[in-house]
Structure 1
């Protein structure tokens, strides 16, 4: 395999710690969390105490000031282990980045230390029933009233929605201004008028809480606004490349994990007096998948380097997200076939991997949207 040279010895020591944490604090409880529809808050506190949350947040705001590679390692290893329950990536790679890059000093001091410790769980409120990938179409409205905003609207498919203490909420502050009318506002979950809807029953990602959120005359101070009024769309676009890279990182990690335990299974399962691995079809198909995953790994590693250098653009991130996300679906589907009927049984990890993979072609921008972004650059 192509050697990975983007990580230092310190990064690999961090990876070892992450693997131990997942093995002891996540994997043994994950099936129960799937039944519960959410993870325990305790695992958030343990992840925070271990230094795994918001690791690239500056030390003055409670993080360790590490580079994005540490975030990528945590996300990658969660993907490899099939640990899809904890919404750590949304919290650390997305919500915290909004505050780090665009929040006021007061907002950073108030929220980032508690986010890094796991005391405060964050969600991002973008998607609405009538607005998915098209952020300009959101209708949740924040109306200025003196020193407050009064917010009314609805969000859906919000990861961490049942557990979150704050929501980085996308609102319209000017209904007629299109993209320039969008603003991000921090909304605490204990404010009057904020209501959590049902914990949505999903095809996969059963342990990750995903919710509807409702806002009825929710009053928040203007000081909760992130950046300037009307700056929300540009803030979202600025952060979107890294967000999509995080999805790609998780997807490639998941592919590698699926291949690893599938190879082990085919060496043990016997059909017609020989192991499944003895059949040429098995060896050739696994070889093909391994080559595709290796190619994706090299590309995604380069994207991680670009992200650290602050040179990752939206088109390259869209390529990484599309390639890795679709590959995860392909790997899960074709590997499940080697299990025969057992692959259809939920007691086997491959069945969970198959269900969890399907969201990769939708969340974070659908594959069709990724193709549109890429094509605009190609035909410019």
Structure 2
């Protein structure tokens, strides 16, 4: 393939991408800052990774760690206020008003409340970019043990994920996870702010041991709220539920590994939390297959009744997952997690 053919192929791929995006993207957010193309966000993520993995450690190699006490107090205080603002907006844009906690479609209209929620989704995306500073401060303070693979995974994935949400589904069912995340961040960044004030304020942080359970609760609430999309169809894409399973990684990062979270420095129940997360993942995998089984079983029974068929269907009409298959699947999961 010569250069001309390669250029034509690339041009065709780009034209196809633009055509698809124009058809399925949210027209309300197209002209908003950073929303016309994913390239700026991707470049920011790549730059972030370069700074915290290569450039930052190289600059800090022969330097003493920065203290950053005042900077951390101001930064964490800002994040508390920013999260409070977004928490309030999530409630007043739908979740405290008329949003359904069972299944809520995206309102693509231009009415005031729908635009308010879409605008909030954009600010939530921006907030994930500001959180790059978390890692940069770790590097400047030479807290290298806290810059883990999972930490980098989380902070580089969320800007890309939230960009997609603003671009295509700015509102609806998926914003519940944003709401819960804002609530957790208010508490988390408040802890970081007080902790940055110095040892004399540690006596006011007696509740830090409960932050581990708060993170687990966040994951559980978001997962089971998203899981409703499997059996409830309101027009919201079920792919969000699949993506929601990725939450286990940042949850594991912030609750299980003591070196990754300051509030867990003296965690005595980290191993129990690790075991709990593994059991939750096992239950989640089984639940998803169990739900598929019952959905297909109900569809089969519905067809039998509506078509007045005998109640002893042929083998090829049976659901994909039988009870016996589910039990074997559960056994294989238990073996895998031993």
Q: TM-score range by the shorter chain?
A: 0.3 to 0.5
Larger strand percent: 1
Larger helix percent: 2
The structure showing larger relative contact order (alpha-carbon pairs under 8 Å, at least 6 residues apart) is: 2
Larger Rg: 2
